[in-house]
A and B are shown apart, each in its own frame.
Chain A
Amino acid sequence: MAKASSKSNLTGKFSKAASTNSGRVHVVPSKDGWSVKKEGAKRSSVVASTKEGAIKAAKNIKSAERIVVHKKDGTIQRNAKKGEL
Chain B
Amino acid sequence: MNANNVFINCPFDNDYFVLLKPLLFSLCYIDLNPQISETSDSGEIRLHKIKGLIENSRYSIHDLSRMEPLRDNELPRFNMPFECGIDFGIKLSNPVDFADKRFLILEKEPYRYQKVISDISGNDIKAHKNDPELIIKVVRDWFKPTNLNIPRHKEIWLAYNEFEFDYEEILNSEGYDPKDINSLTFSDIVENMKAWIIEYKKKITTANNK
Question: B79 on the interface (CB 8 Å rule)?
Answer: no
- CB under 8 Å from chain B, chain A span 32-70: 35, 37, 39-44, 68, 70
Q: Chain A binding site: helix, strand, loop or mixed by DSSP?
A: mixed
B192 touches A30 (CB 8 A): no
Q: Say whether, besides A3-B184, A11-B191, A19 and B203 are in contact (CB < 8 Å).
A: yes
Q: Bound complex: CA of A32 vs CA of B174, how far in Å?
A: 35
Q: Which of B161, B182, B200 gathers the greatest number of chain A CB atoms within 10 Å?
A: B161
Measured CB to CB, the nearest residue on chain A to B131 is A72
Measured CB to CB, the nearest residue on chain B to A38 is B207
- CB under 8 Å from chain B, chain A span 14-31: 14-19, 21, 24, 26, 28-31
Interface hit among B55-63, B95-103, B151-159: B151-159
Q: Which of B154, B160, B188, B191 gathers the greatest number of chain A CB atoms within 10 Å?
A: B154
Query: B163, B179, B184: which contacts A4 (Cβ < 8 A)?
Result: B184
Question: B170 on the interface (CB 8 Å rule)?
Answer: yes
B32 to chain A, nearest CB (A): 19
A21 to chain B, nearest CB (A): 7
Q: Bound complex: CA of A3 vs CA of B27, how far in Å?
A: 23
Question: B116 on the interface (CB 8 Å rule)?
Answer: no
- CB under 8 Å from chain A, chain B span 1-23: 18, 21-22
B157 touches A28 (CB 8 A): yes
A76 touches B200 (CB 8 A): no
B165 touches A24 (CB 8 A): yes
Interfacial chain B residues near A76, Cβ < 8 Å: 164-165, 168
Interfacial chain A residues near B188, Cβ < 8 Å: 3-4, 7, 10
A15 touches B198 (CB 8 A): yes
Interfacial chain A residues near B167, Cβ < 8 Å: 14
**Given A14-B196, A28-B161, A37-B162, 12 further pairs, Cβ under 8 A:** A3-B188, A4-B174, A7-B192, A14-B192, A14-B195, A18-B197, A26-B165, A31-B137, A40-B207, A43-B158, A74-B164, A75-B168
Q: Which residues of A contact B (CB under 8 A)?
A: 1-4, 7, 10-19, 21, 24, 26, 28-31, 35, 37, 39-44, 68, 70, 72-76, 79
Instruction: Pick 23 A–B contacts, CB within 8 A, sort by A.
Output: A1-B182, A3-B182, A3-B183, A3-B184, A4-B174, A14-B167, A14-B195, A17-B166, A18-B195, A18-B203, A26-B162, A28-B158, A30-B158, A37-B161, A41-B204, A42-B155, A42-B208, A43-B158, A73-B18, A74-B18, A74-B164, A76-B164, A76-B168
